Amino acid sequence: MTSQTKRSITLTETHSLTTIQDLGRTGLGFLGVPSSGALDRGAFLRANRLVGNHPSCAAIETTYFGVSFIAGSECTVAVTGALCRVELNQRASSWGVPLALRPNDVLRIGAAQQGVRAYLAINGGIDGESYFGSSSTDLLSGVGPAPLAPNDVLMLGNSHGHAPAIDLAPYLGPGEQPLLRVHLGPRSEYFNVQEQARFLGQRWQISSSSNRTALRLHGSNPLSYQGPELPSEGIVTGAIQIPHDGQPIVFLADHPVTGGYPVLGTVCDLDLDHCAQLRPGSTVMFQSTPTCSRDLLMRSATHHY
């Protein structure tokens, strides 16, 4: 079923934020290690499903710019996440479907046309070195493999040989007028009713300094707040921290485990994937929601599928 020789691909083009990601490492926050992992988990999981992989298999995450590689052996690949041009041996090929590659085939993924981060999954997954149960590159703390570079040879895991569970992934980007649902708290009492209304009532622009650590937002009406100096406290992915300048910061997968500014609200887990795809210069609004999506974290945070 699977070849005895180790399968691999060789990268020919990478950019500064081309990294290996999986579902991240959990349970190490008390040591100061963020969870890391694919920013757009939904797109990451769809890529793995398209090639018949276990959901935890490591894949490649790109940021705006694409990636190219030469297949060292037969493999099945799929590209999801940001919409981008896919070329197989210099001919237009398809995004969001499984592609069968033969040895020496060249696959090129172009720059993102919509969204920011694309995912490239390969059947068998990337068999990278595991750091505390994950192959994810954590750019904040330096845990995990280095960002990818041209001429890197990536070994592939054994393919289970399962037929893909799906054969087409739709584009599920944040849309033209993205709205992120938030649970207010835990420090919303630092903000009076007018400031909370100001937060929910304006369009926030995504700053170009956004990265895997955080989305940095800019609004024409920055928030203000009063209250005692807050001692540093644990922060969760999706936490919206308001520093003294009143411009919100939304923490993403590579966030520091603690922070010292009040957290006004937290982006609903269901909407975190959109944060991965918001382009600098675009705008976003927040909507308060009381409901929870607890069942989904079962999947993403504990790795039990």
Partner 1 sequence: MSMSSDPLWSTSHLSVRPYGDYGYLIDVAQAPLIPSLFNFLRSAYVQDRRRPIVDVIPAERSILVISTLPAHDIIDIIEAWDPSVEQGAPARIIDIPTRYNGPDLEEVARQWNVDVQAVIDIHVATTFTCSFCGFLPGFAYLTGLPQHYSVRRKATPRTALSAGSVGLAGAYCGIYPRSSPGGWQILGQTEFKPWRIDRDPPGQIMPGDKVRFSEIS
Q: Which residues 6+ apart lie within 8 Å of 296 measured at CB?
A: 269, 270
- Report whether 139 contacts 254 (CB < 8 A): yes
CA angle centred on 215, ends 97 and 147, rounded to 5°: 60
231-250 positions binding partner 1, by CB under 8 A: 231-236, 238-239
Identify which of residues 21 and 26 has a Cβ nearer to partner 1 in the complex: 26
Task: Give 126's DSSP letter.
Answer: B
Per rule CB under 8 A, is residue 194 in the interface with partner 1?
no
Asked if residues 120 and 108 have their Cβ atoms less than 8 Å apart, the reply is no
Of the candidate spans 69-77, 158-166, 241-249, 256-264, the one that interacts with partner 1 by CB under 8 A turns out to be 256-264
Tell me how far, at minimum, the Cβ of 301 lies from partner 1, in Å. 5
Report how many residues bind partner 1 under the rule CB under 8 A. 49
Tell me the CA end-to-end span of the chain in Å, nearest whole number: 25
Q: How many CB atoms lie within 10 A of CB 10?
A: 15
**183 makes contact with partner 1 (CB under 8 A):** yes
Q: Which of 36, 44, 13 is nearest to 118 (CA)?
A: 44
* In the complex, least distance from residue 184 CB atom to partner 1, rounded to whole angstroms: 6
Task: Kindly report the backbone phi and psi dihedral angles of residue 79, in degrees, each rounded to the nearest multiple of 5, phi listed first.
Answer: -115, 130
Nearer to partner 1, 4 or 30 (CB): 30
In DSSP notation, 280-297 reads: TT-EEEEEE-----HHHH
Q: Are 47 and 80 in contact (CB under 8 A)?
A: yes
Is residue 28 within 8 A of residue 92, CB to CB? The reply is no
- How deeply is 149 buried, as exposed, middle or buried, from its count of CB atoms within 10 A (0-12, 13-18, 19+)? exposed
Using the rule CB under 8 A, is 258 a contact of partner 1? yes
By CB under 8 A, tell whether 7 contacts partner 1.
no
Q: Which of 158, 196, 207, 283 binds partner 1 (CB under 8 A)?
A: 196
Find the shortest distance in angstroms from Cβ 126 to partner 1. 20
Question: For residue 186, is the peptide bond before it cis, meaning its omega torsion is within 30 degrees of 0?
Answer: yes
Does 187 sit near partner 1 (CB under 8 A)? yes
Please report whether residue 302 would count as binding partner 1 according to CB under 8 A.
yes
- CA diameter of the chain: 65
Site for partner 1 in 131-170 (CB under 8 A): 131-132, 141-143
**Which of 55, 133, 164, 186 touches partner 1 (CB under 8 A)?**
186
Residue 180 near partner 1 by CB under 8 A: no
Per-residue x/- mask for partner 1, residues 22 to 61, rule CB under 8 A?
A: ----xxxxxxxx----------------------------
Q: Check residue 193 for interaction with partner 1 (CB under 8 A).
A: yes
Instruction: Give the residue with the Cβ less far from partner 1, 93 or 135.
Output: 135
Helix or strand holding residue 43 (H, E)? helix 41-50
When asked if residue 257 is in the footprint of partner 1 (CB under 8 A), the reply is yes
Instruction: By CB under 8 A, name the binding residues for partner 1.
Output: 26-33, 131-132, 141-143, 183-189, 193, 196, 231-236, 238-239, 256-258, 263, 266-269, 288, 290, 292-294, 296-298, 301-302, 304
